[in-house]
Amino acid sequence: MSAASSRHIVIVGAGVAGLTAAALLAHHGYRVSLFEKQSVPGGRAAAMTWDGFTFDLGPTLLFMPDVYREAFARWGGDFDREVPMLRLRPNYRLNYADGKNLVISSLLSETMRSLEAFAPGSSDGFLRYFADAADAYQRSRRLFVGERIRSFAHFLSPERIAALFSTGAFRHLGAQALRSFGDPRVAGAFSFQSMYLGMSPFDAPLLYRLLLFTELGEGIFFPLGGIGALPRALDRAARSNGAQIHYDTEIAEVERSGERVVAVRTGGGERIECDAIVLNADLPYAYDRLLGDPEHRSLRMRHTPSALLVYAALEERYDDLLHHEFLMPSDLRRTCTDIFERGRIPEDPAIYLCAPGASDPRMAPPGKEALYLLVPAPSLEGVVDWAGKRDAIVDRALRIVEERRLPGLRSRIRWVRSRTPLEFQNELSLNRGSAFGLSHDVFQIGPMRPDNRHAKLKNCYFAGASTRPATGLPLVTLGAMQSVERICEELG
């Protein structure tokens, strides 16, 4: 019997990072028990089917598939076989209030033609801007997120310091985009992607133009069956490797002795001994509620805002609706100010639409559509009365979509469900209802982001959006691989 096989590791949370860690640790020979309080895998990336309509409940875009290929290959799996997917073309359509639209495609010539039709002359700076985005991506992938940051000294190497300056860590994304394109609408089209990380493009470091490369250089993908196909495949892999997975089982307490975790207790009172623990729960929540450390710095760090998610079952789909579309506000800066500074729902919100039936008709009954809306919104730190005004806020979002893009929308709706920051906090245990975890400003990345191991409890590890390296499905997958590498080094 190997040393690993005699050691029991408990994982709390079946998000993508928790499931990746479970599959890898089980492959390395550890006895793995994963506990998830929800009934399905995925955490924020879970999916549900109601009345034949399948909805991804959180993320709907898949980027950086090479990360998942690497993860699956580590246990001998084949990601492309386990999670068959389509590369979308075009990526999405941006719709503006004046009736004009801009189509963004990973085929750059298509994007440039659309740019010229939308704002003549605006394509002149596009290739340079894209090349700089590609450079930022390659440097960041190699130097900032591709390997575990072990210390400040490790992070602050001459090469990394130079890269921080050259990639624009101390300049603003929105300002550079405006200088590159002139037209504020085009600048917004190539900088709003920072909102994927819960950051305003007007405050986000220029470094995050790398997100544009993930979209245009590598492409946007859709797993057949939705993003939920990814955690389902990870669940299968973890079980196949020998992990035990327990859904509908909440971990209520982490028991420690000295500088080690020795057991966990379920909400039902069962005590499970362990040799190490991986917490895939939201890191500030984990420190506060599970580890009994309400003064941990993560609870004082800057959190991202949140989102209103709307799931609408349509009796009839719209044939001209792309898989991904955005309704762009007339003044993106004012919209971001409302969300990020004033903590309120904007009068002119940005709205993202996802119509997966455009790529996979099986996501809804024949001829129908599982329409998904996302409206960036403040977290529970804001001034929005989510409990009292949820229905009015949802109805207003649907009305805006109906007026600007989908005529007759509300008459096609069979039913509507929604998720607000209240559900992010109460159901997913996300501190402050922040949908994306801790913010990614320049002082909350690298070694300044919470470590993936507890400073005092030497067998307590973390994986997920609020630890290193960052939020987003591919990056939490990278983070899970880094946490597992550390466990194997330190636990043996």
> Over the stretch 232-270, which tens digit does the pLDDT of each residue have?
999 999 999 999 999 999 999 999 999 999 999 999 999
Amino acid at 196: Y
Q: How far apart are the first and last CA of the chain?
A: 13
282 with 320, same domain: the answer is no
pTM, to two decimals: 0.97
Q: Across-strand partners of 415?
A: 313
- Helix or strand run (H / E) with residue 284: helix 283-285
**pLDDT (tens digit per residue) in 59-72:** 999 999 999 999 99
360 plus 373 within the same structural domain: yes
- State which of 426, 454, 481 marks the end of a domain: 426
Whether residue 99 lies inside any domain: the answer is: no
Residue 452 in any domain: the answer is yes
The answer to whether the beta carbons of residues 282 and 298 sit under 8 Å apart is no
**Residues 293 and 320 reside in one and the same domain:** no
> Helix, strand or coil for residue 248?
coil
Question: Tokens representing 113?
Answer: 């033609």
Q: What 8-state DSSP symbol labels residue 142?
A: I
* Amino acid letter, 245: I
- Domain boundary pick from 214, 235, 261: 214
Q: What is the DSSP letter of 244?
A: E
The 10s digit of each residue's pLDDT in 265-299 is 999 999 999 999 999 999 999 999 999 999 999 99
Number of domains in the chain: 3
* One domain for residues 297 and 309: no
In a domain, 111, yes or no: no
- The H helix count followed by the E strand count for the chain is 17, 19
Q: Which residue has the tokens 């750059």?
A: 108
Question: Which secondary structure element, helix H or strand E, spans residue 13, and what is its range?
Answer: none
- Domain contains 290: yes
Of the three residues 393, 426, 459, the one that is the final residue of a domain is 426
Query: Would you say residue 203 lies in a domain?
Result: yes
DSSP 10: E
Beta bridge partners of 82: none
- The confidence score (pLDDT) of residue 3 equals 66
Assign 1 a pLDDT band (cuts: 50, 70, 90). very low
Strands ordered across the beta sheet of 251-257: 251-257, 260-266, 271-273
**pLDDT tier for residue 2 given thresholds of 50, 70 and 90:** low
Q: Is residue 433 part of a domain?
A: no
Report the percent of the chain where pLDDT is more than 70.
99
Range of the domain at 476: 4-85+226-301+439-491
Tell me: do 145 and 77 sit in the same domain.
Answer: no
